[in-house]
């Protein structure tokens, strides 16, 4: 049985983005839906709903527009990998996204939020050298339903504290 290479999506990003949220690689539900964070138990959209009004109660296209209007971009560290299932611990044969080009095209970035430990490890391995000086990089608690060590309220509070979402329209 041959192993399948899975591929991420293009970024959700406007050139004026100030915050970049990076996951590792979309899970099975997201790949099937062709949407970031599509698993209904993933806390990402619930957190975005609390922080900027981009919750699951809105259509995906509207949620992405709201993020962009708040200067938030979403992408993954990996462009492709081999991963049976959805667990980050099963990822191997990593191919990173083109961060040099992304950072050049998004010069207003001030913060990068890494959604979980695998995103952080892959970012350090593949992308740190491309990160512009002065950009604050923070590892955030994973929004994955597999990461149940923290409550939703704890995750939401940590995300809110780490990302300057309330100051985007200064």
Per DSSP, the three-state class of 148 is coil
The beta strands (E) that lie in the chain are given as 5-7, 19-23, 72-76, 78-82, 92-96, 111-115, 136-140
Spatial distance between the Cα atoms of 63 and 14, rounded to a whole number of angstroms: 14
- 42 a catalytic residue: yes
Of 42, 90, 97, 115, which is the active-site residue? 42
Contacts of 62 (CB under 8 A, 6+ apart): 54
Q: Where are the alpha helices (DSSP H) in 85-147?
A: 99-105, 117-126
Spatial distance between the Cα atoms of 155 and 26, rounded to a whole number of angstroms: 19
Contacts of 54 (CB under 8 A, 6+ apart): 45, 48, 62, 63, 64, 66, 67, 70
Burial call 61-72: b when 16+ CB within 10 Å, e when fewer: eebbebbbebbb
Active site residues: 42
């Amino acid at each position: 049985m041959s192993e399948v290479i899975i591929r991420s999506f293009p970024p959700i990003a406007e050139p004026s983005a100030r915050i970049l949220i990076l996951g590792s690689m979309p899970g099975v539900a997201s790949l099937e839906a062709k949407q970031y964070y599509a698993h209904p138990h993933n806390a990402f959209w619930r957190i975005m709903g609390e922080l900027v009004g981009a919750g699951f109660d809105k259509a995906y296209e509207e949620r992405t527009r709201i993020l962009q209007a708040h200067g938030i971009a979403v992408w993954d560290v990996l462009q492709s990998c081999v991963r049976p299932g959805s667990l980050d611990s099963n990822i191997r044969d990593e191919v990173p996204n083109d961060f040099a080009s992304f950072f050049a095209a998004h010069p207003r970035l001030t913060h990068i939020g890494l959604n979980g430990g695998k995103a952080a490890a892959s970012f350090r391995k593949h992308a740190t050298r491309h990160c512009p000086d002065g950009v604050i990089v923070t590892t955030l608690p994973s929004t994955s339903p597999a990461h149940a060590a923290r409550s939703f309220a704890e995750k939401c509070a940590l995300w809110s504290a780490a990302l300057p979402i309330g100051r985007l329209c200064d």
